[in-house]
Amino acid sequence: GAVVSQHPSWVICKSGTSVKIECRSLDFQATTMFWYRQFPKQSLMLMATSNEGSKATYEQGVEKDKFLINHASLTLSTLTVTSAHPEDSSFYICSARDGTSGGKEQYFGPGTRLTVT
Amino acid sequence: SQQGEEDPQALSIQEGENATMNCSYKTSINNLQWYRQNSGRGLVHLILIRSNEREKHSGRLRVTLDTSKKSSSLLITASRAADTASYFCATDAGGKLIFGQGTELSVKP
């Protein structure tokens, strides 16, 4: 089956620093990737949709200058949390859609737990 | 934005019993999907039902979809302790998945 990896699986950073999270599709080409955020005991909230080679589309209320998304290749998307603050501490999950198969299913990464101190 | 609402928010049952979770949504959809998430872990895709389907089975899972009522249900039969997890419905309307609030299922041995 299609596999999506995320790196790192967890990260602790100090307030004011930036953190980059990678999302990779390992055995398929992901023309579209999605980034979600999940706070404890809550559901996944879609942050943005990224298409390879173009700018990401952000959901309402998500600051694009704070959450920088780059989808430079068909197998890699990155999310950079800039000037992180404790309220950015969350579980960040990416997903990828296999563009070549035309399928509807999204394949989810295992998530990255970010703690900002 | 949150599309779906699920009920109950939490469900506690004994092993062997059936568990039913409901999901309601607001807009037209292409398909509806159900996912499981163990505590602090990633999502596991369970089943996808298309908007022109009414019922789908996969092992001990049975999903129904009523597009006139904009609702879906997930039935897990003969539950096991290993089914303990959070379950989310997600609607696909225009290419992106919007998740419901989730149901936290606890199956006691």
- Region A10-33: what's the mean pLDDT? 94
Interface test with B, best of A35, A46, A57 (most B CBs within 10 A): A46
Residues of A in contact with B48 (CB under 8 A): 104-105
Beta-strand (E) ranges in B15-108? 19-24, 31-37, 43-50, 55-58, 61-66, 71-76, 85-92, 97-99, 103-108
Angle CA A16–A19–A24, to nearest 5: 165
Asked if B97 lies within 8 A of A108 by C-beta distance, the reply is: no
List, for residues A29-56, the tens digit of each pLDDT value: 888 999 999 998 899 999 999 988 888 9
Residues of A in contact with B45 (CB under 8 A): 105, 107-108
List, for residues A67-79, the tens digit of each pLDDT value: 999 988 889 999 9
CB pairs under 8 A between A and B: 51
Mean pLDDT by 10 residues, chain B (109 residues): 76 97 93 92 92 96 97 97 96 87 95
Q: Which residue has the higher pLDDT, A106 or B74?
A: B74
The reported pLDDT for the residue numbered B41 is 86
A9 Cα distance to chain centroid:
12
Specify whether the CB–CB gap between B88 and A43 falls below 8 A.
yes
Q: How far apart are CA B61 and CA B58, in angstroms?
A: 5
Specify whether the CB–CB gap between B76 and B57 falls below 8 A.
no
List, for residues B7-27, the tens digit of each pLDDT value: 899 999 999 999 999 999 998
Specify whether the CB–CB gap between B28 and B13 falls below 8 A.
no
- Categorize the per-residue pLDDT at A103 as very low, low, confident or very high, splitting at 50, 70 and 90: low
Q: How far apart are CA B94 and CA B90, in angstroms?
A: 13
The reported pLDDT for the residue numbered A102 is 61
The reported pLDDT for the residue numbered B7 is 86
Q: How far apart are CA B91 and CA A56, in angstroms?
A: 21
Residue type, B40: G
